[in-house]
Amino acid sequence: MIKQNDIIELEIEKLTYEGAALGRYFCDDCPSGFVVFVKEAAPKDRLKVKITKLNKTYAKGEIVEIIEPSKHRIKPFCPLFRACGGCCYQYLEYDYLLEQKNNMLKEAFLKSDFQPEFLEPIKSPELMGYRHKIQYRVSQTKNSKRLLIGYYKEKSHDITNIKYCPIQPAQADEMAQFVRDNWSFGAYREKNHKGLLKSFAARFSNDLKSALLTFVLNVSSADYSKIEPDLTTFFETMGKNFPFIKSISVNFNPDKTNKILSDDFKNVWGEDFIYETLEDENCKRVYKISPASFFQVNPKCAVEIFNEVKKNIGENSSILDAYGGVGAIGIWLCDKAGKIYLVEESKSAIDDAKVNFKLNNCKNYEVFLGDAKEQFKKFLKDRKKFGALIIDPPRKGLSAEALEALSKLSDKIIYVSCNPQTLVRDVKYLQTLGFRAKTTRAFDMFPYSYHIESVTVIERE
Ligand SMILES: C[S@@+](CC[C@H](N)C(=O)[O-])C[C@H]1O[C@@H](n2cnc3c(N)ncnc32)[C@H](O)[C@@H]1O
């Protein structure tokens, strides 16, 4: 049996969902192969691997030598690959990586008794600069007081100071540098929970002509008034310096928490929203987005996803858009659907959605603020039926109780998921209620990361 620090030879079989690759070590004690997870490995690599962690059923290891590389390996295009921990699969050719990600989706479905038809995966229309939502952490070095702005290194709270990120718009680098050079009010140090600036978030519109900024501060709104005049000058200077900045807000987050944003926002420069336009040759929609509202990270890929949903709804049908955000999907469908019912728990998103239905001249809609599960139960009590349900939940998916309730509202469910594991768990539960997943398609919303979005059409048997 292998031991900690052993160096073994391993052939890699496949990529795994959380950003590693899997190989099996065969020996007398484990004839069916002991699973070893290796970072930065590729299927068909032959490697010398050092065992760094040993558990009962699997081990983790790191590459000591590549004996024979996969033919799909490439040189990572970002100088901060490894340091940043963002795009874990940058060392693989894009088309090959997408094929592997699609295999991960297929493999997740193996846990289910019934296999859907796997449709051709859809590439991200952009591979560079695709990420339009940025949430940088900020800190300050102890002695030189230099500002560090970037993402946490993998499995740590140390910040990689990111001056250039090819998967984000170049404007993000310019704004972050402006903050490094001009912010003189101190930044957060997690060790002593002191210092003002904790995070710096930005949302860019599809055409990059508008940006919405949020500075997350380690103060309460009551204490903010003492420092407000100095900060106002900074925000004004920054807003005027970058013509594409349309909105700057602060977010008050004085708690010791990993959550980047609290619910407490204040607009400090410009408007307190931006407009986003999504379009293709057949459809054009405008959306108002406020700082506290969710919107898709990769807008061009979002259009592909929304079209997949549109293809699968009936003409003039009544659609329940659950976990609907600012109405992004529902409003995209409104020329085909009969009526859109939108359910969303964020007050900010619901307020934006109401504006967005009007902005797009969509008249036949109703919005419901609150927890989706509770709203499903209310619809049930009212004996409501829908032509189709669209569910686009957060990564954790749905509870059994929510699935029970929604299963009685329609014979068709279109599940937009950003997590194959919870998607398949929920599909399995729906199977026990008489539904079957018919088709599923992967969409590469987050190129070079392990994340994969999908649209699954589920129907009552
Ligand atoms: C992945 S986003 C999708 C939003 C929208 N469909 C879109 O495409 O932009 C998930 C949304 O679900 C909302 N949400 C999270 N938990 C919820 C719950 N229990 N009930 C209702 N909405 C919820 C979030 O506020 C967020 O807007």
The domain limits of the chain are: 7-68, 97-126+298-460, 133-276
Per-residue tens of pLDDT for the chain, all 461 residues: 889 999 999 999 999 988 899 999 998 888 899 999 999 999 999 999 999 999 999 999 999 999 999 999 999 999 999 888 789 999 999 999 999 999 999 999 999 989 999 999 999 999 999 999 999 999 999 889 999 999 998 888 999 999 999 999 999 999 999 999 999 999 999 989 999 999 999 999 999 999 999 999 999 999 999 999 999 999 999 999 999 999 999 999 999 998 999 999 999 999 999 999 999 999 999 999 999 999 999 999 999 999 999 999 999 999 999 999 999 999 999 999 999 999 999 999 999 999 999 999 999 999 999 999 999 999 999 999 999 999 999 999 999 999 999 999 999 999 999 999 999 999 999 999 999 999 999 999 999 999 999 999 999 99
Counting atoms of ligand 1 from 1, which one is nearest the CA of 418?
Answer: 1
CA 225 to ligand 1 center in whole angstroms: 33
Counting atoms of ligand 1 from 1, which one is nearest the CA of 372?
Answer: 20
β pairing state of 388-391 and 365-369: unpaired
pLDDT for res 85: 77
> From the candidates 165, 301, 362, 418, which is the catalytic residue?
418
pLDDT for res 314: 97
What is the 8-class DSSP label of residue 99? H
Which of 303, 332, 344, 426 to mutate for ligand 1's pocket (most ligand atoms within 8 Å of CB)?
344
pLDDT for res 155: 82
Q: Between the CA of residue 294 and those of 232, 279, 323, 378, 421, what are the distances in Å?
A: 26, 19, 10, 25, 22
Torsion angle, CA of 448/394/276/301, rounded to 10 degrees?
40
Residues with CB under 6 A from ligand 1: 294-296, 323-325, 328-329, 343-346, 349, 371-372, 392, 394
CA 336 to ligand 1 center in whole angstroms: 22
C-alpha 156 chain-centroid distance? 20
Counting atoms of ligand 1 from 1, which one is nearest the CA of 371?
Answer: 20
- Half-sphere exposure of residue 2, counting CA atoms within 13 Å on the CB side? 30
- CATH architecture of the domain with range 7-68: Beta Barrel (2.40)
Question: 97-126+298-460: which CATH topology?
Answer: Rossmann fold (3.40.50)
Q: Do 7-68 and 133-276 come out as alike in CATH topology?
A: yes
Which of 326, 345, 368, 376 to mutate for ligand 1's pocket (most ligand atoms within 8 Å of CB)?
345
Residue written as tokens 């996803």? Answer: 305
- Tell me, yes or no, if 334 is annotated catalytic: no
CA 323 to ligand 1 center in whole angstroms: 4
pLDDT for res 388: 98
Give the C-alpha separation, 340 to 368, whole Å. Answer: 11
Give the C-alpha separation, 333 to 326, whole Å. Answer: 14
Is 344 one of the annotated binding-site residues? yes
Question: 133-276: which CATH topology?
Answer: OB fold (Dihydrolipoamide Acetyltransferase, E2P) (2.40.50)
CA 22 to ligand 1 center in whole angstroms: 33
